[in-house]
Structure 1
Amino acid sequence: MSDRADTAGDLAPAAAAFPKHYRLLKTDEFSSVFGFRRALRSRHFLLHYRRRDSTEAPGARLGLVVAKRFLRRSVDRNLVRRLVRERFRLLRARLRSCDLVMRLAVKPLPLDRRDLAHEIEGLLSKMMSTDR
């Protein structure tokens, strides 16, 4: 067995998972968040959000919009998606019941993983502080 497999086994599977009930999948779900018209802006992203009632499923759900016009290469679009999902997974336990749509609004040049990750985390943290 490789060392990589050993370290991956140390993580709790539930903590690293991103199951379907934490995702926005349908057009209606995205439309309801966009229609609520609550958004926070950072340098490259817009975070649209909508609080959900306690009668609906608990926990935060995430939807992603990464347009091809900002990042032509699918590798770059997928990198941004992975960064957003990872930050969401790390902060999900602290988020209230809400639907979030993270949208890339400006072409990031240069494409720096560390800066984008900090920007995403800062935007989610800002949403948590304004949501109280």
Structure 2
Amino acid sequence: MNTEQPADKRSSACAVFPKTYRLTKTDDFSSVFGFRKTVRGRYFLLHYRVRAAEEATGARLGVVVAKRLLRRSVDRNLVKRLARESFRIMRCRLRAYDFVLRLSTKPVPLDRRVLAEEIRGLLGKMISPER
């Protein structure tokens, strides 16, 4: 068992993805879609909404991958994993927004490297300038 402590505790604390940083309720998704602010990429749309001051700080993420675009659950789960991993790594630098990442067009062929780069690029546009 590895009992070593990480050199930078702040970076390791920022690299977690607990349930508090996920959009889980239908109302959360609806409020983000209703705000109508988006950033468009080749395959994805990143919808976002500024979180109110009384809400908890930090960014939250929801992912939508339609079955009509990717029929196989393996492929849908791959896209969700790529999105969550990119968000987890960048979460500390993101603004306190609610994000919904939605697959908008069918990626042919399904190249995980291209999808991951696009997700990082879209989230990179939302990085807070003061951090």
Conserved 8 A contact 1:87-1:120 = yes
**TM-score normalised by structure 1 residue count:** 0.85
* Alignment-mate amino acid for residue 103 of structure 1: R
- Equivalences for residues 90-105 of structure 1 within 5 A: 90-105=89-104
The C-alpha deviation readout for 1:25-50, integer Å capped at 9, x for no partner, is 00000000000000010000000000
Matched with 2:88 is: 89
Q: Does residue 55 in structure 1 map to residue 54 in structure 2?
A: yes
Matched with 1:45 is: 44
Matched with 1:124 is: 123
Quote how far apart the aligned CAs of 1:126 are.
1.5
Paired with 2:118 and 2:92, the residues of 1 have a C-alpha distance of 19
The C-alpha deviation readout for 1:64-100, integer Å capped at 9, x for no partner, is 1000000000000000000000000011000111100
- Higher percent of residues as helix: 1
Paired with 2:57 and 2:15, the residues of 1 have a C-alpha distance of 18
* Alignment-mate amino acid for residue 45 of structure 1: F
* Alignment-mate amino acid for residue 51 of structure 2: R
Paired with 1:81 and 1:25, the residues of 2 have a C-alpha distance of 14
Quote how far apart the aligned CAs of 1:128 are.
2.8
The answer for unaligned runs of 5 or more in structure 2 is none
Structure 1 runs (4+) deviating above 2 angstroms are 9-17, 127-130
Quote how far apart the aligned CAs of 1:127 are.
2.6
* Alignment-mate amino acid for residue 61 of structure 2: L
Matched with 1:114 is: 113
The answer for unaligned runs of 5 or more in structure 1 is none
Between the two proteins, the alignment pairs up a number of residues equal to: 124
Quote how far apart the aligned CAs of 1:17 are.
2.8
1:90 aligned counterpart, secondary structure: helix
Quote how far apart the aligned CAs of 1:18 are.
1.6
Conserved 8 A contact 1:40-1:127 = no
Paired with 1:110 and 1:10, the residues of 2 have a C-alpha distance of 38
TM-aligned CA distance change 1:32 to 1:39, over 3 Å: same
2:126 aligned counterpart, secondary structure: helix
* Alignment-mate amino acid for residue 50 of structure 2: R
**Percent of counterpart pairs with the same letter?**
66
Matched with 2:18 is: 19
* Alignment-mate amino acid for residue 107 of structure 1: K
**Aligned-CA RMSD value:** 2.1
**TM-score normalised by structure 2 residue count:** 0.86
1:128 aligned counterpart, secondary structure: coil
